Amino acid sequence: MEKKFALATGRRKEATARVKVTFEGKGRIFINGRKLEDYFPLINHQYQIKRPLEVTELLGKVDVKAKVSGGGVTGQAGAVSLGIARALVELDPNLRSVLRKEDLLTRDPRAKERKKYGQRGARRRFQWTKR
């Protein structure tokens, strides 16, 4: 690993995360200037974000700083996770196969379906009344 840090972008639903992974760190993770546990109080989200680091065995060895915006909590967690995985591949291309095997480099394509005209939502119709 010759680079000191890597920048990457992760997206999920409406959320976008700009992630900076610094090699030779102390294992600190900051999201929008706050600690991981403060920004994502749910264990599931914390686990999802730490997953790329656990799989590559870099959990206590790199620092992560992320700026995330848009979407909800779950979308933001997914975006940060993808950003971390992409940054790790940029730092060390040998990690690609490990992260790919765990499905951490795949961008989740699911997004909200658009609302259709003449309907209340994407699929929900207006209520029909006989009289």
What pLDDT score does 2 carry? Answer: 60
Does residue 130 register a pLDDT over 70?
A: yes
| Ranges of each domain in the chain | 5-100
pLDDT in tens, 34-85: 999 999 999 999 999 999 999 999 988 999 999 999 999 999 999 999 999 9
Does the reported pTM lie above 0.95? no
Nearest 5°: the CA angle 105, 107, 112 is 160
Could you say which of 3.30.230.10, 3.40.50.12280, 3.30.43.10, 3.40.50.12780 is the CATH number of the domain covering 5-100?
A: 3.30.230.10
Residue range 100-112, pLDDT digits in tens: 999 999 999 999 9
* Token couple for 45: 């989200």
Distance CA 123, CA 21 (A): 41
Would you call 81 helix, strand, or coil by DSSP?
helix
Catalogue the E-assigned strands of 41-103: 62-69
State how far the Cα of 45 lies from the Cα of 80, in Å rounded to an integer: 10
Over 90: is that where the pLDDT of 113 sits?
A: yes
